[in-house]
Structure 1
C-alpha cells in the first residue's frame, strides 16, 4: 500500500493543522459541554478531518488513490460553512433563525453535496474532467469545475460571510467587556478569507495546486479558542450575559485575580454611582474617593477575603439607606487556579421594612392577646371544678387544649421578639455540663413514656460559658423536646456536650424520620414546618427560630445535619467565657 504514497514537505502544512485542530476538539469537549462548545468542536473536527484527508491526497502518487482521498475530504469541507454559521447564530443570540425553512434547506443542500462528489462519474457536474498532473513539486489532480461545485462554493462563502456580518453587527451592540472577544473572532474569520485572496493573487509563494485553506482555518480555530476561553466570564456567552445579568435587579461585580473589576452590570453601576468606563479595570480600593458605596463594600469584603461569604450590610445609595445581602464567591479553574471573585449585591431593603412592620404587628397582637388568654384559661379551670357531664368535660378539655396552644404561641412570639431585641437578658457564668444535665434529667420521664433510649454524653470539666441561664435552658430543652416528639416510640436520642475550638458544642442526635435536604435551609424560619401527611405532631413553628435567635444573641452558631429515614443532628455552639479563653 505504501507504494501509492510519496513524501513531500508540503504535507506538514496539512498535518500540523490536523493535529492542532484535533487537540482543540479534545480540549473543548474535555472541559465544556455547552451548545456553543459542541458547535465549535464540530467546526474544528471538520477542519481536522479535511486537513488529514488532504495530506493523504497530496502524498498519493497515482490517480485512483488521489481521487479517493479527494472525494473522502468533502464531508469535512462541506461541514465548515454550516457549522460556522450555526456557531455565529448561537453566539450572537440569533439561534431562532435556524428554525426558518429556507435556511434549513440551504444548510441541508450544502451538507448533502458530498453525494454529488461521490456520483460525479455519472453526471460530471462537479468535476467535468479529472487528470493527473506531474508538472508540479508533487503529483496533483488537475480538474475543471462544474456547476455543482460552484453552487457549493457560493453556499460555503455565503455562510462564512453571513457569520462575519453577524459578528460585526454584534460588536456594535455588545457590552464593552466582550468587544475584545468579538474582535478576535472577526480577525480569526478574516484569516482564511484574506489568505485565499493572497493565494489566488500569487502573493504567497506556494505551489498553484496546493490549497492552504485547512492551514488557515486551523489558525482561525486557535484564535477563536483563545477568544472564547480567555475572555469569557462566568461560562456565559455574551448574549446570555446580556439577557440574564444585564437585566438582573441584583448588582453583579466580577473581579480578576488581582482584584481589578472586569465586569459590572447596570444595577451594580447604579449602586456605585459610577459609569462602566470609570469602574472596569480598577479595584474597589481605587474607587473609594469616588463612591461611598465602594468604600463601605470594600470594608465588608476585607473580612471575606479568600472565602465564600453571605452577609447583610447597610449602605447609603442615592441619598437613602439600603440593606443588602452581599454574597462573594471565589472563581477557580478545575485545577484550583484562582481566576477572580464574584460579588452579588441583593437589595433587601423593602423585605426588611416589611419584616419590621409585620414584627411590630405580631408583637402588638401578642401583647394584646396575653391578658384575655390568661383570663380564658383561668375561667376554664374554674369551670372544670364544677359538676359537668362526661361529654361536657370532653369538650372543656378540647377548648382548654386549644387555648393553651394559643397561649404557647403568644409566649413564644414575645420571647422571640424579646431575644431579637436583646432586652431582658440576664448574663452570668454558667457550667454548660450542669445546664445540659439538668435539661436532660427534666425530660427523661417524657422520653421514658415513649419507651425511647435517652442518653447523655457530657465531657467533664468543661470551661464556663457566659449567657442567660433560662434562655439557654429553653434552647436546649426545645431541641430535646423536638427530638422526643419526632422520634418514633422505641427510638434513640443522645445529647452530647463537648469542648470545641474556643466554644462549647451541644448536639442532639436522633434516629427519627429525618428531614429532606430542601427543607433544612428553611427550618429556622418563623412558622416554617416540614410538611408530611403522616406527621400529626402539633407545634407553633416558632421553636427552632426561637432557638436560633437565642444562640445568635449569645454570639453562637446553630446547624442541622439530616438524612431522610436515618435521623437528624441538631447542634449549636456557644463561645467560652473570656477568662477561660485566655
Structure 2
C-alpha cells in the first residue's frame, strides 16, 4: 500500500469527495486538502507533499498561476491540473508550465489514480537521477573530505602524543588507508652505516622489518632520499626492491626535517596490480611531513630528557647548595648540598611555599629582597659554617638561590688579617727606630755626598714600608667593618677638603686641577673619613701618574637618586688587559714607570670603601689618552 503524501487543492466539495474519499485515501495515500491559493502555498511549504492536484475555480486566484508558482519553487514536484477550460490552449499551457498531466471534468477515479501513479513514478525517477548525479558530483568532494579528515587526525596525533611509535603507526595506517595500499613503511637514515632501516611498518612480517636494510647509493629509496623527490612504480610485472621484496606498485616520498632528508615513507602493493595516482603522492607527501615532525619532536624530546637528566644529576651532586623556586614561590628543586646546609632532611617540599620550608630569617629576607643588597647575603648556618647566598631572578621560571660555603675563606681572611696586623705592629717600632737613627746621623756631623745619598735611600725605603703598613691596616679595618662612623656627609665639603689637600702636589708638576659640578652636590650617608680617603687615593693616583703640565678634572652630578664622581686625567692610560685587575690588592699596571713608587693597595682600598657605601666604581681608559674613574653612591633621602 502506498504511503506518499498528496495535497489536493480543490474548491468543489463533490470533486474533493471523489478525489479523497473514493479514490486516494482507500489506496493508502496520505491526503491533505486546501481550498484556496493562500492555503495551498502554506500547506505545500509545511507538509512537503510528494504530489499536488490543483483544480480551477479557486476563490483567491488562478489555478494555473498557482501551479506555475509551485513549480518555480519546487521544480521536481509532480503537479496535476484539473480544469474546466476546454480550449486547446489549456494542455499546451500546462505543458509549458511543466505540469505532468491535465484532467478535465467529469473527474473519474480511474483516471485520477492512474495520473497520480504516473506522477509519483516520474518523481521517483527524478529523485533517483538526482541522487546519482549528486553522488557523481559530490563523490570526489566527499573523498577529499575523508582524506583531509585523515590528515587532520595524523596532525593531531603528532601534537597530542610524544610516543613516537604510536604516532608513526597512525601515520602509516592513514597512508595505507588513503592510498588503498597493502603495506606501508617508514625508512630512516642510519648515519653510522649510511643505510636506510625500517623504523616503522604496517602489514610486514616482524622478522622482515628487523632485518631490512637498503643501501642509499644503489636503491630506489636511496634515490628518493638523496634527490628529495617522490618516485612511483606502476607495473603489471613484479619489480624488485630487495631480495624477497617484489612489488607491482609503489610510492616512495622523502621525509625532511629543516630541509634535509632524514628518511623515506613508502606504500606498496605486492599481490594486486592496482596502481597509484598523482593524488596519492600528494597525500603521502603531507603524511610524510607530519611523520618527519613527529620524528624531529621525538629526537628533541629525547635529547632534552638526556640533558635534563644530566643537569639534574649535576645539580644534585654539586658541592654548592642550589634551590629553585617557581613563580609562585614553591621549591621545584632543593639539591643535596642545600638540604644538608639548611638541615631539611629528605622531605618532599614541592607543594610548599618557601616561607614554610625555610626557617632562617636571613635566607627568607634575601629571597624577598629585603636586604640592602637585595640579591646577596652571608648566612651563619648550622655548625658555625658561613654561606654566601645569591638570588637570581629567571623570567617565566622563578628564582634560583645558590649557597656557597665560604667558611674556609672567612677563616683564611681572619688569619691573614691577624697576620697583617701583627706584622704591621711589630714592624712599626723598628722602622721608627731606623728612621730616628738615620736622622741622628745628619746631626752628628757632616756627611759626604755619597753618605747623604745612602741616607736619602734609607729614608725613602722606610717611608714606603710605612705607607704600605698604613695601607694594610686601613684596608683591614675597612674589610672587617671597623670605623663604622655612619652619618650624613656633605659630599661637597669632602670634595673641597680633598682638592685642597692635593693641590700643592699638582702645582709642583704644573698640572691643571679643577672641579666641574653639574648642579648642587647632594649629601650621602657614610663614613666621612673613609669617603675622604677614597677621594684622596683616586686624586693622588691621578696627580702621581699624570705627566707635568697635564689636566685633572673632578666632575660631579646627580641622576636617578644617585650622585656620581668622575676623576678624569690625561695620564698614560691603563692597558685593556690590566683594567680587569686594577682594583686587586698589590696589582699595578704593566705600563707604570719604575720610578713612580706605590704599594698597589690604593685602589683596593677605594673599592672596599665604595662597596661599603653600597656604591659602584669602574674605570674607562685608553693607553695614551688618560683614564676616567667613576664612582656612584646613593643619595641621602
- TM-score tier after normalising by the smaller chain length: 0.5 to 0.7
- How many angstroms apart in 1 are the aligned matches of 2:500 and 2:426? 35
Give 1:408 deviation, angstroms. 0.6
Residue 459 and residue 391 in structure 1: after superposition, are their counterparts in 2 closer, same or farther (change >3 A)?
same
2:189 to 59, 64, 78: 78
- How many angstroms apart in 2 are the aligned matches of 1:120 and 1:477? 78
Whether the 8 Å contact between 1:327 and 1:343 is mirrored in structure 2 is yes
More strand by share: 2
Whether the 8 Å contact between 2:219 and 2:241 is mirrored in structure 1 is no
Residue 502 (structure 2) pairs with residue 391 (structure 1) = no
Match in the other structure for 2:385: 322
2:428 to 370, 380, 388: 370
What TM-score do you get using the length of structure 2 for normalisation?
0.54
Q: 1:306-351: CA deviations, max 9, x gaps? A: x99652322323xx1222222222223xxxxx22222221111110
Whether the 8 Å contact between 2:522 and 2:635 is mirrored in structure 1 is yes
1:312 to 377, 384, 401: 377
Q: 1:411-445: CA deviations, max 9, x gaps? A: 12222333445555666765432331232233234
Superposed, 1:418-429 pairs within 5 Å as 418-423=477-482
Residue 219 (structure 2) pairs with residue 117 (structure 1) = yes
Match in the other structure for 2:618: 560
Whether the 8 Å contact between 2:578 and 2:590 is mirrored in structure 1 is no
Residue 255 and residue 361 in structure 1: after superposition, are their counterparts in 2 closer, same or farther (change >3 A)?
same
Give 1:548 deviation, angstroms. 3.5
Match in the other structure for 2:33: none
Residue 320 (structure 2) pairs with residue 262 (structure 1) = no
Superposed, 1:159-558 pairs within 5 Å as 215-216=290-291, 218-222=293-297, 225=300, 237-238=307-308, 240-241=310-311, 244-274=314-344, 278-288=348-358, 292-293=359-360, 296-303=362-369, 310-317=375-382, 320-332=383-395, 338-385=396-443, 386-423=445-482, 430-459=489-518, 461-465=520-524, 468-502=527-561, 504-515=563-574, 520=579, 522-532=581-591, 537-552=596-611, 555-558=613-616
Q: Which runs of 5+ in 1 are unaligned?
A: 1-5, 24-42, 60-69, 86-108, 122-129, 135-140, 151-191, 201-206, 333-337
> How large is the Cα RMSD of the aligned pairs?
5.1
- How many angstroms apart in 2 are the aligned matches of 1:447 and 1:149? 97
| SS at 1:237 equivalent | helix
Considering Cα pairs closer than 8 Å and 6+ residues apart, tell me whether 1 or 2 has the greater RCO.
1
- How many angstroms apart in 2 are the aligned matches of 1:263 and 1:517? 41
Whether the 8 Å contact between 2:387 and 2:404 is mirrored in structure 1 is yes
| SS at 1:245 equivalent | helix
Give 1:115 deviation, angstroms. 0.9
Whether the 8 Å contact between 1:551 and 1:574 is mirrored in structure 2 is yes
| SS at 1:78 equivalent | strand
Q: Which has the larger radius of gyration?
A: 2
Residue 145 and residue 571 in structure 1: after superposition, are their counterparts in 2 closer, same or farther (change >3 A)?
closer
More helix by share: 1
Whether the 8 Å contact between 1:517 and 1:562 is mirrored in structure 2 is no
Q: Which runs of 5+ in 2 are unaligned?
A: 1-139, 197-211, 224-231, 247-262, 271-276
Residue 115 and residue 400 in structure 1: after superposition, are their counterparts in 2 closer, same or farther (change >3 A)?
same
Residue 120 and residue 309 in structure 1: after superposition, are their counterparts in 2 closer, same or farther (change >3 A)?
closer
What TM-score do you get using the length of structure 1 for normalisation?
0.59
Whether the 8 Å contact between 1:308 and 1:329 is mirrored in structure 2 is no
Instruction: Count matched residues.
Output: 425
